[in-house]
Amino acid sequence: MQSLQGRHVLVTGANGGLGEQFVAQGLERGAAKVYAAARSTRDWHDQRVVPLDLDLTDPEAPARAVAAAPDVDVLINNAGIAPAGDLITGPEEELRRVFETNFFGTLRLSNAFAPVLARNGGGTLLNILSAAAWVSMPTGYAASKAAMWSATNALRLALQGQGTQVVGLLVGMIDTPMTTRWDVPKVSAASVVAQAYDAVGDGSLEVLADETTRDLKARLNTPGEELYPWLGEQIAGLAAAAG
């Protein structure tokens, strides 16, 4: 188990699923403080956990978060939405809602905390992405994660001069409330978070957290004429699994 001994962690989307695991395992690994950020805060019954009101769609929220958490040296961008019925061909208003949370809100918070991380020794920025960034599923969610994957890689270059470790975590289906409608094999939230924190500890830049994602990454150099028919089969299978 890699140590987070004495570090100050901020987790977005902290109330359930992956976020709840990031809070719990952060404490187990020795974090001195964990800011549990969510649109509606809860009582964590642990004085090391500081609830933090944070709505990523509010442009003023990052500045308030920075003021409330000036000692952060690990920022975990976990919050995101994947609405049922989300389609890339759907209403523009709905696509904008997805992007405002998954892309603009996440990027806005990352940029707001970049100077904080610099002041606190460089620190770590961990973005929770998705294998959907590479599958090209016909959803706003997949498109937003593809955009955030690109932005994560760009942030890594932009922040390397201040010594910030920027980690991208990519994974397929995780057993959380967000994926209950999908009848497919899933990995546990606990295993994904453990891999993510291991990466923070050992200096890794990318985490491929399940076999599906590792297989997909290995296929990305396949010619498009072969890759996209294969992806189409995978997407059709997922659609069938979703009912």
- Provide DSSP, 89-144: TS-HHHHHHHHIIIIIIHHHHHHHHHHHHHHTTS-EEEEE--THHHHT-SSHHHHH
**Does any domain span residue 3?**
no
Q: How many domains does the chain have?
A: 1
**Does any domain span residue 169?**
yes
User: Whole-model pTM?
Assistant: 0.92
pLDDT tens digits, one per residue of 179-227:
566 556 678 999 999 999 999 999 999 999 999 999 999 999 999 898 8
Q: What is the CATH number of the domain that holds 148?
A: 3.40.50.720
**Does any domain span residue 2?**
no
Which domain, by its residues, includes 101? 8-241
**Does any domain span residue 158?**
yes
pLDDT tens digits, one per residue of 49-94:
999 999 999 999 999 999 999 999 999 999 999 998 899 999 999 9
**Does any domain span residue 23?**
yes
36-45, 95-104, 121-130, 135-144: least confident range: 135-144
pLDDT tens digits, one per residue of 84-109:
889 999 999 999 999 999 999 999 99
